[in-house]
Amino acid sequence: MHPTSLLIFAAALFVAAGSPGPSIAALVARVISKGFRDVFPFLLAMWIGEGIWLSLAVFGLAIVAQTFHLAFVVVKWVGVAYLAYLAWKMWTAPVDAKEGEMPREDSPAKLFFAGMAVTLGNPKIMMFYLALLPTIIDLASVSIVG
């Protein structure tokens, strides 16, 4: 991979990371409702989900996405539905918590799978890796060692 391509990709990734999307909104909502300490499984799942999208884009999912556009639209809307579900749960959650008391903790596995669902269903990440990555980097020339 040419260093210029890598620099352009890094700059585009920086700009994309600076514009919050559904994943960041869900993460902030979790931090506000659960506290900072309890969101590490959610954050880990977000990082792994980013890696999955990157790997799939590098290994040719862009062609599959163009062929099976409807499937990717369905995945996007499943992600939207999940975010709406999270918003509804937060909106209707009881507010009788005592001062200084945090709401009950979700299991790390539940937080991890919630983070994975939000990240894999995030249309911004999907479009970044499936549309922008192949135009910046020649995916045919990418190998494990660079």
125 and 23 Cβ atoms separated by less than 8 Å:
yes
Q: How many CB atoms lie within 10 A of CB 22?
A: 20
CA dist., res. 19 & res. 42, Å (int): 19
Residue whose C-alpha is closest to residue 72's, from 114, 113, 130, 23: 130
pLDDT of residue 14: 77
Q: Please, which residues have CB within 8 angstroms of residue 133's CB and are 6 or more apart in sequence? A: 9, 54, 57, 58, 62, 139
**Average per-residue pLDDT for the chain:** 76
pLDDT of residue 111: 84
**Average of pLDDT values for 71-85?**
78
| Residue 34: pLDDT over 90 | no
Number of residues written out for the chain: 146
pLDDT band for 15, please (50, 70, 90 cuts): confident
Q: Please, which residues have CB within 8 angstroms of residue 66's CB and are 6 or more apart in sequence? A: none
Residue 110 DSSP one-character state: H
| Residue 120: pLDDT over 60 | yes
pTM exceeds 0.75:
no
Q: Would you kindly state where each structural domain of the chain is located, as residue ranges?
A: 20-91+104-133
pLDDT per residue as tens digits for the range 91-107: 887 776 566 665 566 78
Termini Cα distance of the chain:
6
